[in-house]
Amino acid sequence: MLFRSIIDALVQLVIFAIIPFLHWALKIKNQESFYQWIGLKKPAFQPKSKSIILSALSFAILLLPGVLLLFVIDDKTMIANAQFATKGWQSIGGILIYSIIQTGLSEELLFRGFFLKIFSSRWGLGIGNFIQALLFGLLHGAILFASLNFFLVITIIVFSALAGWLMGYVNNNLGNGSILPSWFIHSFMNIISSLLLAFNFL
């Protein structure tokens, strides 16, 4: 399981990072490093209290649809982290790789790192953040569209988009453009939901 998790994580990371990297190589390379441009840099929170509150809110909103899904659906195999269901302690390594690299890092590079910058440069930060958040929500809804009823899909889209918007706001308005805050929030949420499955709490 661990080897498969590593391969899956690397494949998804490459797929999600290749377009941002090519864009940087063609247009930004001479201005700043890829890591700085994409947001893999230390955040400088201003103000710290507001950043902590909004980060916690983002985590709660992102966790809510995931836990809701685990409660309302009988066939949990349609959920991405279902591979860890009832596996207990033997799944910890796979959960960390899945949560931190496969979903956390790859999705943050694409949505808060790349899409937010591209859309904001064209239409401003407000619209750019809204578009990347909407795409983030639609991605999570589209994965489950064929398997769930319309109301549940819309609920997942709305909550995921709201969390995506908040994470984009924390990164850019409070964290100096770093994607580290949203990477941490996103990863931690996936760790918690995966552990709930692994130890059969849901």
Give residues with Cβ within 8 angstroms of 62, minimum separation 6: 159, 160, 163, 167, 185, 186, 189
Residues written for the chain: 202
Does residue 62 surpass a pLDDT of 90? no
pLDDT above 90 coverage of the chain, percent: 65
State pLDDT tens for residues 152-182. Answer: 889 889 999 999 999 999 999 889 999 999 9
The pLDDT of residue 74 is above 70 = no
Domain ranges of the chain: 2-28+46-198
The residue among 80 and 91 whose pLDDT is bigger is: 91
The torsion defined by the Cα of 29, 22, 109 and 202, in degrees rounded to 10, comes to -160
Mean pLDDT of 95-107: 97
